[in-house]
Amino acid sequence: MTEVQSLLPDSTHFPPSSWQPSRISDPPEPPPQDTREADLAALAAQEKLGHDGKRQRVRPRRTVDPFGGLERWKIFRTTQTSVHDQLFMRTNPSYLINLLPPNAYTNPAVSFCSRYAHTSTNKIRCPVNIVKWTPDARRVLTGSTSGEFTLWNGLTFNFETILQAHDSAVRAMEWSYSGQWLISADNNGIIKYFQANMNNLQVFQGHQESIRDCSWAPNDMRFATGSDDGTVKIWNFELMKEEKTLTGHGWDVKCVKWHPTKGLLVSGSKDNLIKFWDPRTSKVLTTL
């Protein structure tokens, strides 16, 4: 017993505590008041005020869905009883909501859009060199002279993302047929690979001069580029390796397109000539 008492601390070294339990006998207090809703309302009211303290006029953006006509056309095709059932446009403004894609009419000219919808302006005003719809057809990707990619919402007409993609002016871009890859080229002859989420994968030198156009092969394994150096090059996408160089134009190559289903290339140049190429033999098939 004495051994245990010797191990215990000596209480004479600690002064007596002055603390006494008092809140047990106090009456209950109400919980603190929730001011989050008031803070959010004040913040929303502050956001509506401009820099000069005056109230701004809020105008909601009008949403335009380009898929509405496609859905109506699909419904019409499922309920169509005969090939003689044809659609036509009525001469009344109230029927504009029934406007369908051009392929839905025997005369596609009646489906041309001629009404102004909206104008979108980037933060930094600079010329836009190329415009492409994304594979889902709901966004628009633009390439500008400043080397920026701007992703616009095709339904509400506002920008979603601004990306500094190139160091010089963007001259060409093209989505693959699978919709997974994007190739772009700039004024310095640089070629870049991007994913659908705008993640840059590869960068390499394609031409010594500006690249004006690019086009994918039907199987997405190769692509072609046309440059101001007067040549058309065929590239292996996976290896980033030049396979063939097509020479024959006497001036800058301004455009090049690969046939969507066949092994056929067509290019246009500043020398006023259009050439058809066989990408397997690198020979000119005909010149217009």
Q: Walk along the chain (288 residues) and give the pLDDT tens digit of each residue.
A: 555 555 555 555 566 666 666 666 667 777 777 787 888 887 777 766 655 556 656 566 666 666 667 777 888 788 878 777 777 767 676 666 677 777 777 776 766 666 676 777 777 788 889 999 888 878 889 999 989 998 888 777 788 888 898 989 999 999 999 889 999 999 999 999 999 888 888 899 999 899 999 999 998 899 999 999 889 999 999 888 889 888 888 888 999 999 988 889 999 998 888 999 988 888 888 888
Q: How far apart (Å, rounded) are the C-alpha atoms in residues 136 and 196? A: 10
pLDDT of residue 256: 93
Residue 159 near residue 153, CB atoms below 8 Å: yes
Instruction: Report the alpha-carbon angle 141-209-150, nearest 5.
Output: 15
pLDDT of residue 100: 76
Please enumerate in sequence order all residues whose Cβ is within 8 A of that of 30, keeping only pairs 6 or more positions apart, or say none. Answer: none
Residue 278 has φ and ψ, to the nearest 5°, of -95, 110
Q: Which of 269, 276, 285 is nearest to 227 (CA)?
A: 269
Q: How far apart (Å, rounded) are the C-alpha atoms in residues 152 and 179? A: 17
Q: Which of 93, 92, 187 is nearest to 147 (CA)?
A: 187
Model confidence pLDDT, tens digit, residues 253-284:
999 999 988 889 999 998 888 999 988 888 88
* Per-residue tokens: 72: 């109506």
| 144, containing H or E segment | strand 139-144
Q: Which of 226, 256, 221 is nearest to 239 (CA)?
A: 221
pLDDT of residue 20: 67
Distance set, CA 169 to CA 42, 125, 231, 267 (Å): 44, 14, 20, 22
pLDDT of residue 70: 76
pLDDT of residue 181: 92
Looking at residue 87, the DSSP 8-state letter turns out to be -
Q: Which of 211, 210, 217 is nearest to 234 (CA)?
A: 217
pLDDT of residue 175: 93
pTM of the full structure: 0.64
